[in-house]
Amino acid sequence: KRKLIIAVDGHSSCGKSTVAKDLAKKINYTYIDSGAMYRVVTLFAMRHNLINGEKLDENKLAHLINDIHISFSYNDELKRHETFMNGELVEDEIRSLEVSNNVSLIATIKFVREKMVALQRKLSEAGAVIMDGRDIGTVVFPNADLKIFMTADVEVRAIRRYKELKEKGDDISLDAIRENVKKRDFIDENRDESPLKKADDAIVLNNSHMTKEEQLDWIVARMAEVE
């Protein structure tokens, strides 16, 4: 069997990362969370006060971007993938609604994207990779072996994210989450740099009414067709 590059793109909060992580575990592939990279840059920009409302101090970020070192590791004890910013564990902080509300702004910036894409390609050099994001099949790996475009109804997505954040103890309204999901989709699909878009050769997976197992089986079947 070949070591494939699998690209999973799609809308916000439709379960891309959950499915990609489960699949990577099941078939012993490397999972790479490209969204976490944009989230780290966002957290960094927030901590340096570079974001004011909808405005970003691009010049300052351009000067500071090379000071941001992003790394990942798997925590065996907690059984989770963890993200680090300059060695600091930021996995929970990058998932907060504050970061979620600013990340799509950061992801519009060309020099940020170039830097992230370079890192994504570097981390994938060995192959046997499943990466999720917005532009993986269109920009990062236009020759990916398998491209999946995931989506689900907005309401289904908002409710899933709501439950997830509630379980973590975040006190947040369903309305605020639905707005964030819609806003991110809008910005992601309408930006000039690498907009979210189904690659011509991607296969659509609408998981509104599918269990996780059904989604995994579906992807494994698609893999068998290209392996």
Footprint (CB under 6 A) of ligand C5P, residues 95-114: 103-104, 107
Toward ligand C5P, which CB reaches closer, 118 or 217?
118
Report the distance separating Cα 186 and Cα 106, nearest Å: 14
Of positions 7, 20, 31, 38, contacts ligand C5P by CB under 6 A: 38
Question: How near is the Cβ of 10 to ligand C5P at its closest, in Å?
Answer: 9
For residue 24, the Cα-to-chain-centroid distance in whole angstroms is 15
Report the distance separating Cα 221 and Cα 227, nearest Å: 10
Toward ligand C5P, which CB reaches closer, 4 or 10?
10
Of positions 184, 199, 207, 219, contacts ligand C5P by CB under 6 A: 184
Question: How near is the Cβ of 162 to ligand C5P at its closest, in Å?
Answer: 15
The answer to whether 22 contacts ligand C5P (rule: CB under 6 A) is no
Q: Cβ of 26: how many Cβ atoms within 10 Å?
A: 11
The answer to whether 161 contacts ligand C5P (rule: CB under 6 A) is no
Sheet containing 80-85: which strands, arranged edge to edge?
70-75, 80-85, 88-89
How many residues of this chain bind ligand C5P (CB under 6 A)? 14
Question: How near is the Cβ of 85 to ligand C5P at its closest, in Å?
Answer: 15
Question: How near is the Cβ of 122 to ligand C5P at its closest, in Å?
Answer: 15
What is the DSSP code string of 75-141? Answer: ETTTTEEEEEETTEE-TTGGGSHHHHHHHHHHTT-HHHHHHHHHHHHHHTTT--EEEEESSIIIII-
Residues in contact with ligand C5P by CB under 6 A are: 12, 34-35, 38-39, 103-104, 107, 133-136, 184, 188
